[in-house]
Amino acid sequence: MPAWAKLAILSVCGTLLVLVDRPIHLGLACAVVLLLFASLGRTAWRRVRMLGGIAIACALIVGFHGFLGSTPLGVASALRLASAAMLALMLTLTTRFEDLLIVLETVMQPLRRFGVPTERIALGIGLMLRFAENFYVQWQRLDDAYRARAGHGGGLRLLAPLTIRTLQTAERVADALAARLGR
């Protein structure tokens, strides 16, 4: 199934979930979504722990409403949350990052008429990923250097040098980009 179709189905299902509020209907929806999720097979189940936080949140919501004596409302909210989260996780598990990016660029195409440089979104994400890696290495180097001097990790003390290095790198990259892209 193409990425745009999955996104469209996801947004329709998400809207439907908000419109339904009977716990029994939401329970049915949740069961269907769970079956769909199970149909993804073992590889998907291995990633199911990504839903751990959602499960805890659901339990807290039910507990909170149970405490106030409005259990059905709590169950409905928890079921809605669980279904929406599972649908979203299914999309993330079955679709490649690049495919979603292409859909996003296509959807945003009309904005170009208003002078929004949509082609720069992909460039921005690419730059961001490249530099996230770079900064992580820089942070580890700062931490190693601190460890060598003090015998223990630097923790929050390293934030200032890390931020200054980030800004200096940003200035250099800004110069390079301006030179290559023209403005």
Partner 1 sequence: MTTTGSITSSRSLSYIALFAALMAVFGLIPKVDLPFGVPITLQSLGVMLAGCLLGPKRGFFAIALFLLAVALGLPLLPGGRGGLAVFVAPAGGFLFGWMFGAFTCGLLMRRMAGATGKGLLAAAFLSSVVGGIVVVYAFGIVGLSLVAHMSLSQAALAMLIFVPGDLIKCGICAMLVQTVMRGMPSWRLDRD
Q: Does 27 bind partner 1 (CB under 8 A)?
A: no
Contacts of partner 1 in 53-112 (CB under 8 A): 53-54, 57, 60-61, 64-65, 73-74, 76-77, 81, 84-86, 88-89, 91-92, 95, 97, 100-101, 104
What sign does the dihedral 142-146-152-157 (CA atoms) show?
negative
Which residue, among 73, 55, 54, 56, has the nearest Cα to 65 in the 3D structure? Answer: 73
First to last CA, the chain: 40
What residues contact 83, with CB distance under 8 A and at least 6 apart? 13, 17, 26, 29, 30, 33
Tell me which residues touch partner 1 (CB under 8 A).
Answer: 10, 14, 50-51, 53-54, 57, 60-61, 64-65, 73-74, 76-77, 81, 84-86, 88-89, 91-92, 95, 97, 100-101, 104, 115-117, 120-121, 123-125, 127-132, 134-136, 139, 155-156, 159-160, 162-164, 166-171, 173-174, 177-178, 180-183
